[in-house]
Amino acid sequence: MAIHWQDYCGMSILIGFAFPRLKVNREKLGAFDDALAEHQRLKQAAIVEELRAKVVRGLPDVATIMEDKTLCLTCIISGDPYPEITWYKNEKVITFQDRYKMEVKGTVITITIENVCSEDTGKFSIHVKNKWGSETGRVTVSVYKRGKEPKELRDEQALV
């Protein structure tokens, strides 16, 4: 027989009622714990993927330009916290001065090279990094002399 007792908060509590003992299947509980742990791990991985530094879009694989022109390479980045940005030319950090300029407008990053010359030919990359991860975007820049057809165009015409 159960006795009802009203506490000071107005809650009704059963006294003297025998609750049946629950049988716990330790094997099923372990599987549940494993599934919950996997769910939490995947959720954390999704959060990290969302927050890590990334080069989202914008850089071509190859950029070909005539000497004495101005080259602008633009890409869009993301990450929270906002990523550190480093540009490289042939794996050496670029110092932005004289002909090389970098402009940052929120998530839009542009490197501008004025009066390009043959020395500007090479492999350029942007590396973005924050506490959640990093990513590198790459582009190969090819500068050709005025009046000469770029090698890429000669190769294309040979295929036709």
For residue range 21-73, what is the model confidence (pLDDT) as tens digits? 556 566 666 788 888 888 888 888 888 788 999 999 989 999 999 999 999 99
Phi, psi values for residue 133, rounded to 5°: 155, -175
pLDDT > 90? residue 146: no
Beta bridge partners of 93: 88
Query: What confidence score (pLDDT) does residue 158 get?
Result: 56
Q: 48 vs 111, which has greater pLDDT?
A: 111
Q: What is the reported pLDDT for 46?
A: 84
Find out whether 126 and 59 touch, Cβ atoms under 8 Å.
Answer: yes
Residues 6+ apart with CB under 8 A from 119: none
Dig out the tokens for 20 from the structure: 């049946």
pLDDT tens digits, residue range 87-101?
Answer: 999 999 999 999 999
pLDDT at 62: 95
E strand intervals along the chain: 3-6, 12-15, 54-57, 62-66, 71-78, 84-89, 92-93, 100-105, 108-113, 122-130, 133-144
Q: What gap in Å lies between CA 94 and CA 90, rounded to an integer?
A: 9
User: At 151, phi and psi to the nearest 5?
Assistant: -55, -40
What sign does the dihedral 43-48-49-50 (CA atoms) show? positive
Cα separation, 143 vs 75, whole angstroms: 20
Cβ pair 135, 55 in contact under 8 A: yes
Beta strands in 28-131 (DSSP E): 54-57, 62-66, 71-78, 84-89, 92-93, 100-105, 108-113, 122-130
> In angstroms, rounded to a whole number, what is the distance separating the alpha carbons of residues 53 and 78?
6
